[in-house]
Amino acid sequence: MTITLFGIRNCDTMKKARAWLDAHDVAYVFHDYKTAGIDDARLRDWIGRVGWEPLLNRAGTTFRKLPESDRVDLDADKAVALMLAQPSMIKRPVLDTGETLLVGFKPERYEAAGLGNA
């Protein structure tokens, strides 16, 4: 099972998630979607698994700086277009275990997903 951690390298929450995974000897591959991007198919797969609302980081500066017209009447297609254009609008981290997709970092959720029991 390959675990992939998606996010942006310098994000504070990402640093906490990576530190937790490292401290619990969880092997993972890191995908920086700020530099490597994210593709439409993967984003739509995530939306199919957890919905678009948990993935869109509405609290971030990038989203808040959007024109009002881009922030209203959101649906899955509009959210995908925004997140593909500016991946920093994707909430971080996204951890894909293959079976489970976790959005955001909470140690108890990582433990509940069976991570860190090595």
pLDDT digits (tens, 9 = 90+) for 31-86: 999 899 999 999 999 999 999 999 999 998 999 999 999 999 999 999 999 999 99
The closest alpha carbon to 56, from 21, 23, 81, belongs to: 81
6, 7, 11, 52: the catalytic one is: 11
The tally of CA atoms less than 13 A away on the side-chain side of residue 36 is 10
The closest alpha carbon to 83, from 28, 31, 30, 46, belongs to: 46
Lowest mean pLDDT among 21-25, 78-82, 91-95, 112-116: 112-116
Is 11 catalytic? The answer is yes
Write down the pLDDT at residue 1.
Answer: 66
